[in-house]
Structure 1
Amino acid sequence: MTTQSAQRPPTEEPAAGKWSLGEGQTPLLDLSPQLADLLGVAAVFVKCEHLNPTGSFKDRFAARAAQLAVSGGYRGLIGISSGNAGASCAAYAAHAGLPAITVTRPDAPAAKLAQIRALGGRTIPVQRSFDPSQGALASTIEAVSAVADEHNLFIATPSFTHSPDAMAGLDSVSAELDIEVPSASLLYCPVGGGGLLTGLARGYRGRSSIPRLVGCQPRLNPTLRAALGETVTRQKEMSAISGLQIEVLFDEDTAVAAIRNSGGHVSSPTDEQTHHAQSLLATRCGILVEPAGAISLAAAFVDREAGVLRSGDVVVLVLSGAGWKDQQSLQRLSLDTTTQSPSIPLAELSGAVASSLE
């Protein structure tokens, strides 16, 4: 496993200026020795967005949101989030001396809510806040906008539709990749509301050659496939992949354009395949990401089975969030990969070690 971080050219000061916490310029790791043969491709790289300050790519967005809130004279930040964006906004708001409020779903992972609160942010769970039926989500968005106006708060909901100036911070991901791995042929990107996919496409604007963008969504939540005009069957069961459960594609038009303009496609692994990819990244590569980050690898395996990948392909996977953010999946992963042994007398240590090495 190697990193190309040391080969990067000098960069300008982060867009967030003095409110930056060191987001961006995340490592690009070469995992070809671990994954290329499994995928049947020439090379595999991962963009480690889970190594941003609060553990997700949303830090690039939140840094700009805090800067814009300060420069615009706003009282604080407010946004809708299932967890990661809320944690990012809480951190950057705290750094800028501002309050941050996150409107979230009642079933958001406890670890993500705890991170928001630990950073001084406030969480307000709202019933059916992410439910697209009967206009519930639209009503939540409208209510947040009204409250923001009432209290002079900067809207920090992570979508280009609702916070375009702050979301421009995501353009830097592909701008970095264009320098780090210009030979990339496919770029796999987790898709929830479509913001990251949109940002990747924006970052490649003006480049003579760009990779095919692959949107990675849970099979149980095929909103991007539907937006592309594919016939999909919506299941009553909801995906368990936190962060990718949202049933509305906020940035639908730009996400669709990102796929079509790059000659890309959508790949939809099952939750089980995504959990397996999370385990593989951890035990084979030493990289612990949450399921929403591991879906990029799961989607690549789906494409391998479908005959999409070619032997000469250079694949890049965006790993969007850290593994410690979802304690439920972490607990499942630990149970899947190891068995807790009973305590033993010291005299039996050598035998126990020998058994562990088998």
Structure 2
Amino acid sequence: METTEAFVGLTCVDCGETFDAETATHRCPDCDGILDPDYDYDAVRRSLTSNRSSSNSDDAIDLMRETLESRRFDSMWRYEELLPFPRESAVTMDEGATQLVECPDLAEELGVGRVLLKDEGRNPTGTFKDRGQTAAVTAAVQHGATDVALNSAGNAGQAAAAYAARAGLDSHVFLPSRSGFTNKAMVNVHGGDLTVVEGRIGDAGEAYADAMAEHDDWYSVKTFVTPYRHEGKKTMLYEVVEQNDWEVPDAVVYPTGGGVGLVGMHKAAKELRELGLTDELPSMYAAQSSGCAPVVEAFEEGKDVHEVWEVPDTICGGIEIPDPGASPLILDALRESDGGAVATSDEDILDSAVAVAQREGLEMGATCAAAASGAWELARRGEFDEDDTVVLLNTGAGNKDDDVLRSHLMSKGI
């Protein structure tokens, strides 16, 4: 495999064993736990300072920042020292490097110093899923795969088909019938083998598992099965901090289903602190729909793992994940960062998407607007101070859900 200098292997978050990334491709070979890419951070420092030694730690920090700032802000792969694979070997369409947009009207309404919206809808397939799939499909290529497969609520499947096409691989995507038309259509347009399964994401997961059992040559790019999806998404936090002049925001509110991006960003925040580039961790907040809120329930009840949400009922398909397998990692991130969890109704979430579009001109996907709705509720509860900087993660473009948002307006007679 062609890997970066600092990448030392994959460490199991459960048993703590570290494995060679060339042979351990997915879950832990010993206990089936989630594998997490691990790095030699001294090697990262050496690389970012061009091996120029300094007895002054402030000088070393300045050198690292200057190195990153000297690069074009054109792709998440500009942070390749903190990723498993070098940019030159990446299956990439210049994903990442999305805008961090100032929202003064929202800041005034929330009663905080600043609201910044990280607009992931500007990625190649319109969502932050591209960050995960560029890393996962790169790993698939490195491992000699010919076919990739996953089940998805929609956007990750579309992204997987796109990046598989870019790499010349075949893709097999299992989507529930409730997935949006755009996702289904674009899997086909990218040449993917699409299976639409009646029901919800769990039903699609069962069909995917059955197919994987029959095709041992298919390479999984499924959330937290591949070690690389959350690793690609952590770059959102690197960008937020750099775009904010190396100031850590006080809070990050993230629309949470499987929690991949939240886990990745929390890891990134700890890495920046380890390198000395920042001093603090942003408080991470998981925002869910009250119709499917297993993370919120577990957080409020002080549990270390969720209980399966028996009857999910939300129009926000992207976060309708009743059984998030990595909930211990999500809950750890929320508590370690002194953050929290919040659930709001679908009505409030859709109202928030419309409010952001009408007051700031920014288009949030219906699912993504859980972050805005959650932020309003958190502000109402007094979670934020008047001088706080709050970042909302818009994980996907509004036109992914234009029919849902328009129908919501029509239901109000607009």
Structure 1 and Structure 2 fold alike (TM over 0.5):
yes
Alignment of 1:195 with 2:260, yes or no, is yes
> How far has the Cα of 1:179 moved from its partner?
1.6
Partner-residue secondary structure (3-state), 2:201: coil
In the alignment, the residues of structure 2 paired with residue 305 and residue 30 of structure 1 have an alpha-carbon distance, to the nearest angstrom, of: 21
Alignment of 1:37-186 (within 5 A): 37-128=108-199, 130-131=201-202, 139-140=206-207, 142-149=209-216, 152-157=217-222, 159-160=223-224, 162-181=225-244, 182-186=247-251
Alignment of 1:26 with 2:98, yes or no, is yes
> How far has the Cα of 1:139 moved from its partner?
4.3
> How far has the Cα of 1:69 moved from its partner?
1.6
Structure 2 gaps, min length 5: 1-67, 73-77, 274-278
Contact 2:356/2:362 (8 A) holds in 1: yes
Contact 2:152/2:204 (8 A) holds in 1: no
Partner-residue secondary structure (3-state), 1:79: strand
Match of 1:255 among 299, 321, 330: 330
Corresponding residue of 1:294: 369
Partner-residue secondary structure (3-state), 2:118: strand
Structure 1 gaps, min length 5: 1-6, 340-358
TM-score normalised by L of structure 2: 0.73
Partner-residue secondary structure (3-state), 2:258: coil
Match of 2:379 among 296, 300, 304: 304
Change (3 A) 1:230 1:78: same
In the alignment, the residues of structure 1 paired with residue 209 and residue 69 of structure 2 have an alpha-carbon distance, to the nearest angstrom, of: 43
> How far has the Cα of 1:142 moved from its partner?
3.7
Q: Percent identity?
A: 26
In the alignment, the residues of structure 1 paired with residue 299 and residue 130 of structure 2 have an alpha-carbon distance, to the nearest angstrom, of: 29
Instruction: State the one-letter code of the partner of 1:197.
Output: L
In the alignment, the residues of structure 2 paired with residue 183 and residue 19 of structure 1 have an alpha-carbon distance, to the nearest angstrom, of: 30
4+ residue runs of structure 1 moved beyond 4 angstroms?
13-16, 136-141, 231-237, 336-339
**Count of aligned residue pairs for this structure pair:** 324
In the alignment, the residues of structure 1 paired with residue 356 and residue 206 of structure 2 have an alpha-carbon distance, to the nearest angstrom, of: 39
In the alignment, the residues of structure 1 paired with residue 311 and residue 395 of structure 2 have an alpha-carbon distance, to the nearest angstrom, of: 27
> How far has the Cα of 1:128 moved from its partner?
4.4
In the alignment, the residues of structure 2 paired with residue 338 and residue 20 of structure 1 have an alpha-carbon distance, to the nearest angstrom, of: 44
Corresponding residue of 1:320: 395
Contact 2:294/2:309 (8 A) holds in 1: no
In the alignment, the residues of structure 2 paired with residue 8 and residue 271 of structure 1 have an alpha-carbon distance, to the nearest angstrom, of: 40
> How far has the Cα of 1:98 moved from its partner?
1.2
Corresponding residue of 2:11: none
Alignment of 1:258-297 (within 5 A): 258-297=333-372
Instruction: State the one-letter code of the partner of 2:101.
Output: L
Change (3 A) 1:79 1:313: same
In the alignment, the residues of structure 2 paired with residue 171 and residue 190 of structure 1 have an alpha-carbon distance, to the nearest angstrom, of: 15
Please, which moves more after superposition, 211-220 or 176-185?
A: 176-185
Change (3 A) 1:288 1:8: farther
Contact 2:269/2:282 (8 A) holds in 1: no
Partner-residue secondary structure (3-state), 2:117: strand
Please, which moves more after superposition, 54-63 or 175-184?
A: 175-184
Contact 1:294/1:319 (8 A) holds in 2: yes
Q: Deviations over 1:302-321 (max 9, x none)?
A: 11221222211110001001
Q: Deviations over 1:187-243 (max 9, x none)?
A: 001111111111111111231201100001111111102333628996846011120
Contact 2:299/2:331 (8 A) holds in 1: yes
Partner-residue secondary structure (3-state), 1:204: helix
Please, which moves more after superposition, 113-122 or 35-44?
A: 113-122
In the alignment, the residues of structure 2 paired with residue 212 and residue 145 of structure 1 have an alpha-carbon distance, to the nearest angstrom, of: 38
RMSD of aligned alpha carbons: 2.5
Instruction: State the one-letter code of the partner of 2:336.
Output: N
Contact 2:174/2:205 (8 A) holds in 1: no
In the alignment, the residues of structure 2 paired with residue 234 and residue 68 of structure 1 have an alpha-carbon distance, to the nearest angstrom, of: 32
Match of 1:211 among 266, 282, 306: 282
Change (3 A) 1:264 1:281: same
In the alignment, the residues of structure 2 paired with residue 271 and residue 223 of structure 1 have an alpha-carbon distance, to the nearest angstrom, of: 15
In the alignment, the residues of structure 1 paired with residue 168 and residue 151 of structure 2 have an alpha-carbon distance, to the nearest angstrom, of: 20
Corresponding residue of 2:9: none
Q: Deviations over 1:286-329 (max 9, x none)?
A: 11121111111110101122122221111000100111112431
